[in-house]
Amino acid sequence: MKILRWNKKGILGGLLILVLILTLAGCGGTGNPGQKAGEGTKKPEEPAKVDFPTKPIEMTVLFGAGSGADLLARKVADIASKDLGQPVTVVNRTGAGGAVGYNYVKGQEANGYSIVWNSNSINTAYHAGNMNFDYTAFRGVVELTTEPVSIAVKADAPWKDINEFIDYAKKNPGKVRIGNSGKGSFTHLAAVALENKTGAKFTHVPFGQGLAVASLLGNKIEATVQLPAEIVAQVKAKEVRILAITGENRLASLPDVPTFKEKGVDLTLSLWRGIAVPKGTPEVVIKRLEQAFKKVADSPDFKAFAKEMGASVEFRGAKDFDQFIAQQDKELSVLMEQIGMKKQ
Contacts (CB under 8 A) with another protein, residues 100-119: 100, 103-104, 107
Among 59, 115, 116, 128, binds another protein (CB under 8 A): 128
147 binds another protein (CB under 8 A): no
Question: Looking only at residues 12 through 41 of this chain, which bind another protein when binding is defined by CB under 8 A?
Answer: 12, 14-15, 18-19, 22-23, 25-26, 29-30, 33-34, 36-37
> Which phi and psi (to 5°) does residue 144 adopt?
-120, -45
The residue within the footprint of another protein, chosen from 57, 62, 90, 277 (CB under 8 A), is 90
67 vs 312 by CB, closer to another protein? 67
What H or E segment, with its residue span, contains residue 307?
helix 300-308
Q: Which helix (H) or strand (E) holds 301?
A: helix 300-308
Shortest Cβ distance from residue 39 to another protein (Å)?
10
- CA–CA dist 69, 150 (Å, integer): 15
Stretch that binds another protein, among 11-19, 156-164, 279-287, 312-320 (CB under 8 A): 11-19
Q: How far is the CB of 97 from another protein (least distance, A)?
A: 5
Site for another protein in 183-212 (CB under 8 A): 183-185, 203-211
52 or 260: CB nearest another protein: 52
Among 78, 83, 290, 314, binds another protein (CB under 8 A): 78
For the four alpha carbons of 16, 18, 20 and 26, in that order, the dihedral sign comes to negative
Taking the least distance from each CB to another protein, the nearer of 62 and 289 is 62
Minimum separation from the CB atom of position 220 to another protein (A): 3
Query: Which CB atom, from 87 or from 282, has the smaller least distance to another protein?
Result: 87
Nearer to another protein, 150 or 259 (CB): 150
Which residues make Cβ contacts (< 8 Å) with residue 50, sequence separation at least 6? 284, 285, 287, 288
> For residues 48 and 58, is the Cβ–Cβ distance under 8 A?
no
Task: Name which of 24 and 48 has its Cβ closer to another protein.
Answer: 24
Beta-ladder partners of 273:
119, 145
Q: Measured at the alpha carbon of residue 189, what is the angle toward residues 304 and 155, in degrees to the nearest 5?
A: 60
Asked if 56 touches another protein (CB under 8 A), the answer is yes
Query: 260-299: which residues touch another protein (CB under 8 A)?
Result: none
Restricted to residues 246-265, the positions that interact with another protein (CB under 8 A) are none
Distance CA 18, CA 251 (A): 52
Could you give the CA distance from residue 188 to residue 320 in angstroms, rounded to a whole number?
27
Q: How many residues does the chain have?
A: 344
Residue of 213, 244, 276, 318 interacting with another protein (CB under 8 A)? 213
In the 8-state DSSP scheme, what is residue 136? Answer: G
Report cis status (omega within 30 of 0) of the bond before 53: yes
Among 239, 282, 303, 339, binds another protein (CB under 8 A): 239
> Any contact of residue 96 with another protein (CB under 8 A)?
yes
Those residues whose C-beta lies under 8 Å from the C-beta of residue 198, and which sit 6 or more positions away, are: 166, 169, 170, 265
